[in-house]
Structure 1
């Protein structure tokens, strides 16, 4: 039997219903020391604008169902989620935690020293739930101070000299960014998660030690918007638009008028930018991103000077796969380097990005690592003059600086033949393609989890993956043959589909009603279902004849 464990989860509300609060306080009273239950119930209010509060806060349906008692009925992720909901809900109605803060003033000759500490006296709600911290802090034990008396002489046991420099503000975490968006009135609780997801999926930022680090693609987009659409990326504009949308949803403003006002100014800006040449936009971005794209040289030379031809100027360029840095003397000088960083590190670039890795032990040809406009790759020189050298792109996630001769030769050896398929006798191969690593048999392709699997996957595992893929594509199982349709004589069958059994006749499929057993369906019933389904099909759209060209 399926049993719901929590209340409706698509809500931004932070206040539980009176019944929920009463049940929660009962759970605290029966499961914890009396000190953990405050004298009065706690109440909370949502600070975010336009929060979805049609339902109460997320809480367990029954506080008596403790996580430890029902975890055996749930999988790992479900158990963790229920534990989080139960702990947060109960902790929200517990007593405050109590800390003791102490400060000691120490006189050392003409110098004055101060030691401060904090000790947890009563854990309160912290016994169940603590918010994760963005940075690791020193624990209470490290902050605990010894007992001392006024006027007591202290002996010096150890002297540590540490120098501290002023540091820039730490980068946002997902939690601190959402908090900042709330303060600025940008977004809504229902959109925060999707906003952060888009930033990661489009590779505008990456997560590093829980911090959001901007990628070069994100910097480029930001620089473009700030220079050409500055009004539309200002905090006040976004917050004001959010407020107008709230008024529309509440019926206090007309959506057509709001759109009209926005569009009139926006289209003027777009038209103004459309008249600019690409070179003008790139010149603007060169200036805006100069410190990032053209870092200072060790010799103190011109950061825009081409290191290959020496008289060309480095500039942002736009290619099929995005932006890169190239020489202004193209095509005479073909120097290029990546704009995008990999794993937070810049790819090593020497001259045109070339780095010699060694020689192929079989042919003696030189193996190189290069960086082109489409990213880093390895190449082995051809023994035949004029023949195109063999190349292989580095898989995503590999630091170019870590590539050695052994890895380069592996990549250049692809595709790798794993063996012959036991049924067809055709080869099963593994390779890295445009969409990542895969195994192939005949016309069947199956993705692999990691590029390393391309070199380690055995024949048995590959055959199993291919079989699973083929099984997922197999035709639906026939449950019952009803015979020929009374009107056209075409076969009518009942098949087992992904969403349950259904009747099939030519191109018409009709699902069986719930509770109807496939074996009990007659031809008459099947014809009725098919006829009803055919009536629901939209009429085929007639293709318009191409307009005749006038002389």
Structure 2
């Protein structure tokens, strides 16, 4: 009979810890949060110090029952949830439920926290339990109450003033503002012309290019040469002065050092996994959770990385000792600095766990344990392992050279830059990626031929090239996470859920892995920034995070902080509910008259996005797409007539996009799709007569159905494959991709569970 009961969040974690603690301990999982606020208004009561009303999460009731049953046989209870605020809150909720059920009695209750799931760390933590932290609990209560009050007051207002089903959040709204403001910046961007002037040069039969830095005694900036006329004049001046030769005016040689990046935090691992592996923030955290909770390495279950929700870049002393010994043994003592590297946390309120994300043991080399890991687990573990080892290796040493080349006189100078890696150091193992990096025209990594002052080199040609400035790029997941961290919006552990919420609410879309705001997202952001500017302000959001951190440190009381927030916020919501007219939010008046009735037109928000409509609706039903020219003649389909009435067929615009329709509408209502569905070449497995066609549903979602519809109504959501199921013999398989399992061949028959992992071309390229 177990003397002690240990509670963790997940069954995988429970399984691993049970093996470490032995027969005197029972380890059960709560399966995450066990209770939450009532899902209706009034769950947080501002009139009574923000008292909260909770209910048990229905799906976890059976797990609570199992915990109670086991606890009755135990002497000690250890709450071993994650070592952060969220974990502390889960432990507190568990404690409160068990206290209410009157099953604690005289049992000893301890809070256990460990940063890594290894035998020594777990046993040490259980040997030194502590009490629940009121400060951490209050910080989490305040965060939950804030999010609840903002959501339950702003969201209904959005329903009234824009449309049903929308939501606003304390951190999601500033994140949406970032994306919308970047899009507006791109749309308003006006390109400026500029010209670069490079010289193609040869020395000792080695060609290289040099960039113009001085022209007739004046330093050349980006817009010194800003049109073709100036470019031609500069080319003539330089060609005449050089006369086919350039003289080496100055040679500068330096040696520079490049230091490795700090070990991973939650934010940086999400950014780097996005850049290097193509992972979403949610996928990164999901795979990291698996590595943290434990992997079976051939009979032994081991947590491979430390806790993955952290702002810290610190490494434990025992980890540093092991890493340094490993570097010395594996890469040689000359790749080991004299002292361990120490990194400073950029976040001013670094909290959560007290270590960076690192391997629990650097001796678990990725190549050696690859066979025990899934493809995604291996790729992320290898990234974390390399970054951790590299951060404790010696710096990279580079020899750089800058050569100034004069055309006739030192008044006209070109500069060539080059460098060579003398000692790669950490770069031999790992190099950090950058967002939106552009090709460096100076090409500093090239090797230049030997040159000294006074040498004369051959000028092959002058290369003037026209350029235009470019707008800032749209946010990728990596750059958005970086911006959220820089502005102090949310916490690293919430970035993945922020991004998911924006996508689920259809406030943003992804195009080429970049965020684009939808029409709904723009209008929601416009409403919030105009009427609630202080609550979507970046500084306000960051200040709120500072207050929550101060509560977690015991420096502030959470109830007065909530009161300071609630009164002005609630008054503003009530005032806007009365004063803001829905049409002012969803209608944008334009200087144009309705061609049908002469009334005024406005850009309005419909179910499928923005459109131009008459303000006299419903008396006048005139509408058109926002980008459609009102005076443009309809596009006639050449060589075809309506099969019903012989009138011209034209391209028309509807709520679901463009289609072919009869010009005789409304007398003739003939329509057909603009584009014929793509034939997949796979025979329908049900009727065996038609082929499976790729179609688009009204919702915009792609599906595949038999070309003989409506005679044959067979359809599937996933791409058909011309392969029979090896398990049940069904004539067709489908290709299914999910975030959790990747891409698989699956049988579309519900009663058959056949699946087979496959690698897509994109995954192969990433690999």
If the TM-score is normalised by the length of the shorter chain, which range does it land in?
Answer: 0.5 to 0.7
**What does 1:333-482 align with in structure 2 at a 5 Å threshold?**
334-338=621-625, 355-357=635-637, 359=640, 368-372=650-654, 374-381=655-662, 388-390=669-671, 407-408=675-676, 410=677, 418=684, 420=686, 432-434=696-698, 436=701, 437=703, 447-449=716-718, 460-461=731-732, 468-471=749-752
For 2:624 and 2:426, locate their aligned partners in 1 and report how far apart those are by CA, in whole Å. 54
For 2:665 and 2:434, locate their aligned partners in 1 and report how far apart those are by CA, in whole Å. 61
- Rate the CA distance shift 1:386–1:236 in 2: closer, same or farther, 3 A: same
Which TM-score applies when normalising by structure 1?
0.64
- Rate the CA distance shift 1:14–1:465 in 2: closer, same or farther, 3 A: closer
1:269-300 CA distance string (max 9 Å, x none): 222222222223345x55xxxxxxxxxxxxxx
Tell me the secondary structure at the aligned position of residue 61 of structure 1. coil
- In the TM superposition, residue 141 of structure 1 has moved relative to its aligned partner by 6.9
Counterpart check, 1:122 vs 2:393: no
Counterpart check, 1:21 vs 2:320: yes
- Which of 566, 577, 583 is the aligned partner of 1:279? 583
Aligned to 1:234: 537
Counterpart check, 1:83 vs 2:352: no
- Rate the CA distance shift 1:352–1:449 in 2: closer, same or farther, 3 A: farther
Indicate conservation of the 8 Å contact 2:400/2:420, yes or no.
Answer: yes
Indicate conservation of the 8 Å contact 1:23/1:63, yes or no.
Answer: yes
- In the TM superposition, residue 183 of structure 1 has moved relative to its aligned partner by 3.1
Counterpart check, 1:149 vs 2:452: yes
Indicate conservation of the 8 Å contact 1:325/1:337, yes or no.
Answer: yes
**Count of aligned pairs:** 426
- In the TM superposition, residue 429 of structure 1 has moved relative to its aligned partner by 10
1:477-533 CA distance string (max 9 Å, x none): xxxxxxxxxxxxxxxxxxxxxxxxxxxxxxxxxxxxxxxxxxxxxxxxxxxxxxxxx
For 1:462 and 1:227, locate their aligned partners in 2 and report how far apart those are by CA, in whole Å. 52
For 1:72 and 1:456, locate their aligned partners in 2 and report how far apart those are by CA, in whole Å. 29
Tell me the secondary structure at the aligned position of residue 161 of structure 1. strand
- In the TM superposition, residue 220 of structure 1 has moved relative to its aligned partner by 2.5
- In the TM superposition, residue 146 of structure 1 has moved relative to its aligned partner by 2.9
Indicate conservation of the 8 Å contact 2:602/2:615, yes or no.
Answer: yes
Indicate conservation of the 8 Å contact 2:641/2:647, yes or no.
Answer: yes
Structure 1 unaligned blocks of 5 or more: 287-302, 340-345, 393-404, 473-551
Tell me the secondary structure at the aligned position of residue 363 of structure 2. coil
Aligned to 1:95: 394
Tell me the secondary structure at the aligned position of residue 7 of structure 1. coil
Aligned to 1:133: 434
1:372-413 CA distance string (max 9 Å, x none): 3x3304244499985754566xxxxxxxxxxxx5x24x49x9
Aligned to 1:181: 484
- In the TM superposition, residue 148 of structure 1 has moved relative to its aligned partner by 1.3
- Rate the CA distance shift 1:115–1:420 in 2: closer, same or farther, 3 A: closer
For 1:356 and 1:311, locate their aligned partners in 2 and report how far apart those are by CA, in whole Å. 26
**What does 1:138-287 align with in structure 2 at a 5 Å threshold?**
138=440, 143-208=446-511, 211-275=514-578, 276-282=580-586
Which TM-score applies when normalising by structure 2?
0.48
For 2:352 and 2:659, locate their aligned partners in 1 and report how far apart those are by CA, in whole Å. 56
Tell me the secondary structure at the aligned position of residue 155 of structure 1. strand
1:226-249 CA distance string (max 9 Å, x none): 111111111221112112222333
Indicate conservation of the 8 Å contact 1:448/1:454, yes or no.
Answer: no
Counterpart check, 1:11 vs 2:293: no
Tell me the secondary structure at the aligned position of residue 456 of structure 2. coil
- In the TM superposition, residue 213 of structure 1 has moved relative to its aligned partner by 4.0
- In the TM superposition, residue 53 of structure 1 has moved relative to its aligned partner by 4.2
* Cα RMSD (Å): 4.4
Asked which structure has the greater RCO (Cα within 8 Å, sep 6+), the reply is 2
Indicate conservation of the 8 Å contact 2:309/2:492, yes or no.
Answer: no
For 2:665 and 2:316, locate their aligned partners in 1 and report how far apart those are by CA, in whole Å. 80
Aligned to 2:271: none
For 1:54 and 1:88, locate their aligned partners in 2 and report how far apart those are by CA, in whole Å. 19
- Rate the CA distance shift 1:319–1:190 in 2: closer, same or farther, 3 A: same
Aligned to 2:353: 54
